[in-house]
Amino acid sequence: MASPRTLRILPDADRVEQALLEASRSTAFVDGRGFCSFAELIEACEPARFLGRAPLGPLAYRLLISDEARALPPGPFGGFVRSPAFARGAATLFEHLTTQWSLPAELRTAAAHLSGARAERVGALAALWEAVAVRLAREGLVTPAGLRRAAVERLEAGLPASLSPFQAFRFEALHDWPLLHVKLAQALARAAGPERTVVVALPLVGQPELGAVVAEAYAAFEREAVPGLELEPQEAPDHLAPLLAFGHATSQPSAAPWLTHLSAATPRDELRALAVEARRRVDQGCPPEQVAIVFRDLAEEAERLSAALRAVGLRARVRLGAPLKDTTPGRLAIGLVRFADEGFPAEALPRWLESRLVQLGVERPAELSRWLEEAGVRDDRLGAHGEEGAYATRLGALERRLERAAEARGGSTVRAEQVRRVREACAAFFGVVRLPEEETLAAHAEAWATAVQRLGLHAGAGAPAAEAVRG
C-alpha cells in the first residue's frame, strides 16, 4: 500500500485519535501513518541518536539538579536548594528557557544587567544551569527540551529517512509556539526542500479567545520567512467554542475591564484603527478633550495620526511632554517598585524620607543617615524579628539603649527622641509603600498607585489614582 502523501502533526495522542475518528466518518479505511503527535515527530528525527546521548526523564532530571545545587557554594537561596520544590522549580525554568532557544550563558548575561538581590538570584540560577549542562554532557544525557532542540539541529542536517516518504507536512491544532517549536517547523521546511510543503494552521487573528497567543505565534513565524513554509489562517473548531469562551471570560483581569487591545497589519492601519477607536469613544459620550493617545516618541506617526483623526471628524493637538522618568516625582514614583523589591536598602531610604515631595504625615526626622548607621540597619530584611521588619527592630533596640544610658547618667533623652522620630517616620513610610510579594499584575498596579497617591506623588508624577487603576 502506498504511503499517505501528507503527514498531519497534532499536539498529542488524544488529538491524533480524535482526528482518526473524524477521518473514519468519511471513508471506510484510514491509514494511520499519515497522523502523528508532536512528540512522535520529535522521535522521528532521532535526536538522542544524533547527539549520542540517552534521554533523561523528569524525575531523574530533578535529582540531578538537586545534586548539582548542593555541590555549588552557598548562594542567595540558602537551604532552600536542598528542598524538592527548588529542584522542581529549577527544572521547569531551565526547560522553559530551552524552549525559548536560550542557553546558560545568556542567562548569566541577563544577570549582569540586573542589580541587587535579583542579580544574585539570577546569577546563582545561571551558575546552576551551567553546572547542570556540564554534568549532562559528561554523563551523556539529554532532557526532554534538549531533545526538541536536538531535533532542530538534526533537521538542519537534512530530512530523516522516516519522513522522506511524505510530500507535505501539516501542523494542526497547535497554538503553543515557543521559539524552539517555531525553529523546528522552519528547519523542517528547509530540510523538506522546494518539492515539499510545510503548513502551519493557526486560528484567525482577531478571535478574542486566542488573540494574544495567536498574534505571538504569527509574529514569531513572520520574523524569518522560510521558503516552503506556509501559514494557514482558519476558524477555531466549533466544538472548542464553549471552552474558548469560558477561558476568555475567566482570564480577563476583573480589576481592569477598561484595558483592551487591537491588532493591525501595518503601522498605517494601526493609526487608522486608533482613530476609529477614538471616534467610537466620543460617540459613546466621552468628551474629546479626555481622549489621549500616547507615543514613546513624537515622530512622524503623530502627524499621521492627527490626519487620521481629522478623517473621522476629530481635531487633535500634538503636545510634547517631559518623560516621566526625567521628573523628580516621576523618578520617586517609579523607583518605589525596585526599592520594595530590594528590601528597602538603608542607603536609599533618605531619598524618600528627606524629600519635600513626599508627604509622610509625621515629623520629618533629622540626621536620618546617622541614626540608621548607628542602629546597624542595612535593609528591612536583615535583622527582622517575626512580623516586625529590621528597621523597627533595630531602631527600637537603639532607642531603648539610649534611654537606658540617659537614665543611668541622669542626662537628656534628646538622642533617644531623635531615634524615635526616625522609627516613626520609617513606620509611616513602610505602612504606605508595602507592595505584595506575589499577586496579579492588576493588584500590583493598584498597590503601587495607592502608595504613590498616599505619598502625595501622584500629582507631580502624573501617576494614576488608585480608583483609576481599579477601573
pLDDT of residue 249 exceeding 60: no
The 10s digit of each residue's pLDDT in 384-411 is 887 788 888 888 888 888 888 888 887 7
Comparing 9-18, 159-168, 421-430, which segment has the lowest mean pLDDT? 421-430
pLDDT of residue 462: 47
Share of the chain above pLDDT 70, in %: 86
pTM here is 0.51
Alpha helices (H) along 72-157: 84-99, 104-112, 116-139, 144-156
* Distances from the Cα of 295 to the Cα of 292, 321, 322, 464, 465, angstroms: 10, 11, 12, 18, 21
Residues 110/129, Cβ–Cβ less than 8 Å: no
Contact indicator for 352, 358 with CB cutoff of 8 Å: yes
What is the reported pLDDT for 95? Answer: 94
Cα(149)–Cα(168) distance, integer angstroms: 22
Rounded to the nearest integer, the mean pLDDT of the chain is: 82
pLDDT over threshold 80, residue 193 = yes
Residue 467's pLDDT is what? 44
CB atoms within 10 A of CB 181: 20
Determine the distance from the C-alpha atom of residue 6 to the mean position of all C-alpha atoms in its chain, rounded to a whole number.
37
The mean pLDDT of 356-373, rounded to a whole number, is: 78
pLDDT in tens, 126-180: 999 999 999 999 999 999 999 999 999 999 999 999 999 999 999 998 878 889 9
Whole-angstrom distance, CA of residue 34 vs CA of residue 2: 11
CA–CA dist 341, 434 (Å, integer): 10
Please compute the mean of the pLDDT values over residues 230-244 and round it to a whole number. 63
Cα separation, 6 vs 101, in Å, equals: 28
The pLDDT value recorded for residue 390 is: 84
pLDDT of residue 240: 52
pLDDT digits (tens, 9 = 90+) for 296-348: 666 677 778 888 888 888 888 776 666 666 677 778 888 887 888 888 888 88
Q: In this structure, is the dihedral angle defined by the CA atoms of residues 17, 23, 25 and 30, taken in order, positive or negative? A: negative
**What tens digit of pLDDT does each residue of 34-75 get?**
999 999 999 999 999 999 999 999 999 999 999 999 998 888
List phi, psi (to 5°) of 211.
Answer: -50, -55
pLDDT at res. 237: 57
For the segment 430-447, the average pLDDT, to the nearest whole number, is 77
What tens digit of pLDDT does each residue of 439-450 get?
Answer: 777 787 888 888
pLDDT level of residue 255 (50, 70, 90 thresholds): very low
Q: Is 118 helix (H, G, I), strand (E, B) or coil?
A: helix
Residue 465, pLDDT > 60, answer: no
